[in-house]
Chain A
Amino acid sequence: MSAIYKRELHSYLTSAIGYAFIALFFAVSGGVFVYTTLYSGTANPGNYYTYMLVFFVILLPILTMKSFSEERKLRTEQLLMTAPVSIPAMVTAKFLAAMTIFSACTLLCSCSFLFLTKYATVRAATVFGNLIAILLVGGAFIAIGLFVSALTENQLAAAIGTVGIILLFFVVSALNRFIPVYWIRFVLSGVSIFSRFGNFTQGAFDFSALLYYLSVMVVFLLLTGRVYDRRRYR
């Protein structure tokens, strides 16, 4: 498993896509930080992380789009599938590699609030809570991205598909309040990734939301493994 993890990291750090992701992430983060914090004159990190979450819809598919689809295109998946490594280990290694890059970028960008402490009161607990929540939501998006990437050998299709699925979660949250039937509203609010994030922005630590994000992550990673398992039986 560690071999695949290291290979993935190597691939991110030697490819244009890896650097494009990192550069875009930093640029977006800088812009959002200036807009939501410096311009608004507030030290509350809630707005920054909420805006970042919206940009993740575009950013994270860039990170995951080549994960499995490129292996399929290059036929290197044959090497992985015939090596003494299990499918769950392969999927986990790829997930952890993408999470490493994403977490490193998020943590580095969150340092902006560290510098802000010199000029304003920043509640460390709020930053910390937001950080954990955003890492978990990012993890859920990455798991979705890996799943879609395992379905196709076309990287662009993988990226667009991932954006599509994440947007679906987004639309569910946005349109939910307009649905007149209570039980549909109840079910849809249950699967909304975004509405659960609200509590964190206000500094509250929502344990059920954490469990929910972890569940989304696990479900999509299991589905990714299932795609590979299924392909063996095609």
Chain B
Amino acid sequence: MSTSSSTKSRFELTRDDKPIAIAALFIVVILIAGTIYTLSRYGSMPLLTPTYLIQQLQIGSYLGIIAAGMMLVILISQIDLSVPWTLAAGAMMATAVGGPWALPMALAVGLIVGVVNGFGVAVLRIPSMIFTLGVNAVMRGLMVAQTGGFAPQTKATDLMRFLAAERSFGIPHAIFVWILISIAMVILLKKTAFGRSIYAIGNKEAAAYLSGVPTKRVLFIAFILCSTLSSFAGLLLAGYSTKAYQGMGDAYVLPAIAAVVIGGTNILGGRGRYLGTIVGVILIVLLNSVLSIMEMPEAGRQIIYGAVIIAMLLVYGRGEKATS
């Protein structure tokens, strides 16, 4: 809250800023380590070229959009594990209808999944970890049935190509899309009653409810936004890789959660800044990329990747909320 300037005059990091600073520092470490490797191996510094960095940001923008939605859900002490097949379904349904209806179709898929998730969690009170996992399986079944019966169109439309893959002034449009969504997220979390309610619910749902916060409505909206952002990211990814395919979302759920948590959002909800999620996304994308440049075998990459996530969680935010 920005009601007082007394804390800003002191030069110190607040509780929420510390993980962001650590993650940012780690990004620098990754870049330096990668550059030392390329210098010694090839005598060049490709990691520090604008082309490389912009390309990483483009790859990061798809993950970033998913992580934005995931962050909303994590902030209210929930989780959305239906992301992979919501993403795939959004992409597959969009390419299947094609033409001008591709974008509305993707958003509609997200909306429907979000309503179902919201209903399960807010009304039926089923733990989101189980409910969204079940929804993920259902979505997968629906998509397999959809492609099994007949062969739908899987080619990306021109709009999808425009949004996800094309560039203006040398900068991919996907990055602009991510920036727009990020600005909306910051406004949503910082400037609206909805944003305040999100943090309140994540900290103590009972207290928020007894203060007259419309907890059910907030839960619904958070799940709807998360699913819609996922299916929209699916549309972009299909545009980027020119087609939609089954399983295209499977590689995104863990990195999205990891990006949110590495950015300092408490996995138990109630705390975290959106800037942290952006930093977390960049960290994960760079880590992946540098490990592959270093020709680390897949097994080693997975181990390092997982170890980094665990190590970051140990450094900050470990079960702090459990004590209060």
Do A and B come from the same complex?
no
Chain B residues packing against A (C-beta within 8 Å): none
